[in-house]
Amino acid sequence: MQEILSKATKVRLLICDVDGVLTNGGLFFGDDGQEYKAFHSRDGHGMKMLQDCGIDIAIITGRTSNVVKYRMKNLGIEHLYQGQKDKTQAFNELLEKFNLNTEQVAYVGDDVVDLPVMTKVGLAITVADGHELVKQHSHWCTINGGGKGAVREVCELIMKAQNKYDEMMNQYLQ
């Protein structure tokens, strides 16, 4: 675990996939074709706290959804890349935009489409119910599954590694 915490101390950008990471991977469609997704509120709050600690967050997803656009706007996440069949292009844009090296990036994915980016970052993370091949190529695996608080775990891991967790939590104890 010390090696994971050491990697997390360097993180300046957290990138997350959506389906299977911020959601449980289920896709819900109404009769009118409208897409619905369920997000975990603790994941959202964890992302807000991490941003308050000075860590940027970006989303790279293969699908395109107004629901995702709305949720990310609600969370103050400006760096949203949807419809990305090849996620490495968006990843490279983010590295350039933030002037980061790969060691300063954590990526949370759950499926094989995430591997081209996950194999390049300093801290590759998958969720408990991620694909087996993704687990094999991850540095760390969450206890919770996608859409069930896994991203909150990631946010707290980074805050703890960077000695910001206690300060962030103490504000709720006053």
Distance in angstroms (rounded) separating the CA atoms of residues 46 and 149: 9
2-170 CATH choice from 3.30.360.10, 3.40.190.80, 3.40.50.170, 3.40.50.1000: 3.40.50.1000
The answer to whether the Cα torsion of 106, 84, 145, 52 is positive or negative is positive
**pTM of the model as a whole:** 0.97
pLDDT (tens digit, 9 = 90+) per residue, 36-87?
Answer: 999 999 999 999 999 999 999 999 999 999 999 999 999 999 999 999 999 9
Spans of all domains in the chain: 2-170
Of residues 32 and 132, which shows the higher confidence score? 132
pLDDT (tens digit, 9 = 90+) per residue, 139-167?
Answer: 999 999 999 999 999 999 999 999 999 99
The 8-class DSSP code of residue 49 comes to H
